[in-house]
Amino acid sequence: MKIKLLFAAGLLLLGTVAFTSYSNQKAEKMLRHVVLLKFKDSSSPQQVKEVEDAFRKLPSQIKEIKSLEWGTNNSPENLNQGFTHCFFVTFNDEAGRATYLPHPAHKAFGKVLGPHLDKVLVVDYWIKE
């Protein structure tokens, strides 16, 4: 019973945080670019860190990136299919994304990532109100 109550409290807190975040952002139209990465088993932790650092530098190199969030999987559900890293890039519009994709800094990042990439999954979407 105690676990159920803690779980319910956690869901309530998560819902409150999500609603607050959504409420604060819903006035703005934003384009989200979600990148999930699965690294090769042969990639060392140092090589993975080099990829992380290279991705984290992109907002300082490409002014069209409005924000960048990222993290590593910690889901207990074990449904990640080997994807370990999520990068969440926000643009004001499609023109920003169109500048980002062929940008030399993005291409340079691809060269850092390429030797270590097993799989990538990319989803872009407009936030919905």
> What is the reported pLDDT for 24?
54
129 pLDDT tier (thresholds 50, 70, 90): confident
| Mean predicted confidence (pLDDT) in 100-113 | 98
The domains located in the chain, with CATH, are: 28-126 (3.30.70.100)
| Mean predicted confidence (pLDDT) in 16-30 | 56
* Residue 18 pLDDT exceeds 70: no
Measured from the Cβ of residue 88, the count of other Cβ atoms closer than 10 Å reads 14
